[in-house]
Amino acid sequence: MIGIFDSGIGGMTVARAVEQLLPDHSILYLGDIARTPYGTKSAETIIDYSLRNTEFLLQKGSNLIVIACNTASSVATERLRQEFNVPIIEVVTPAVQAVLARSRTGRVGIIGTRATVRSNIYERSITALDPQFKVFSLACPLLVPLVEEGWINKRETKMILRRYLHPLKDKQIDTLVLGCTHYPLLTNLIQPRIGNRVNLVDSSIETAHYLQRFLADHPGIVRKNGDQPATRRYFVTDLTESAQQVAAKIFNRPLELELV
């Protein structure tokens, strides 16, 4: 069984992509809505939350963990791999691979939470593989709360995005990494404000493809359900009306969220 966790509902973009690519695999999801956002927290707190989230998913039967959160991926991955004897897949590596494959000029923008940007994980990972790349990172701390509140098409959200993205437009980037799994829900607002010629890298989709390849190379780790239908359970640490609405928007169907 595939276990997926995020600081809130944004990681459901990863879960949705996994559902589509791996329909025969069961999924357990945990959205830590009660403690979102992670991006404003200290590294020690993020690691503590990530350990608890992983323990919950393993106790429920997960054989593999996907950290569907850029903040937790950038801060907690190594600790989780030290503590747990299961594969831990994070969202940064798949996005970095996509950047290297798609960028034409080597000028790349990253938008993410303060913790992700502070960790410098994207710049270090990209330039370690190709030192000629120029990486420009920008923290966008207001975007996660706006998505969690369901303010996806509000005028205020559009204004904030325009303000955030303006410095990156001046850098003449050709690729922009959506370095938070909440941000794909804002793609329709981000693309026209950064420019239609800029290639957007969605870490959610890239992670699902990465997981698909990983499971193909390691077929014994997570078994398919065979004749039994795959099960999908979506747990949250707080149940709000806005969370239910955004979840339904992500999956294009009503979704039962279980409170833990």
Quick check: 157 and 186 in contact, CB under 8 A?
A: yes
Measured distance CA(36)–CA(10) in Å, rounded = 10
Place of tokens 């014994």: 220
Residues 6+ apart with CB under 8 A from 149: 242
Can you state the angle between helices 92-102 and 203-217, rounded to 10 degrees?
Answer: 100
Residues 6+ apart with CB under 8 A from 107: 133, 134, 136, 171, 172, 173, 174, 175
The two structure tokens encoding residue 228:
């039994």
Residues known to be catalytic: 69, 180
Query: Long-range pairs for 75-78 at CB < 8 Å and ≥24 separation?
Result: 75/43, 75/46, 75/47, 75/50, 75/115, 75/119, 76/46, 76/47, 76/50, 76/51
Q: Which residues pair with 259 in a beta bridge?
A: 236
Binding residues for substrate, by number, are: 6-7, 38-39, 70-71, 181-182
CA separation (Å) from 179 to 7, 10, 26, 36, 60? 14, 11, 26, 16, 28
Measured distance CA(123)–CA(111) in Å, rounded = 12
The two structure tokens encoding residue 137:
């990172």
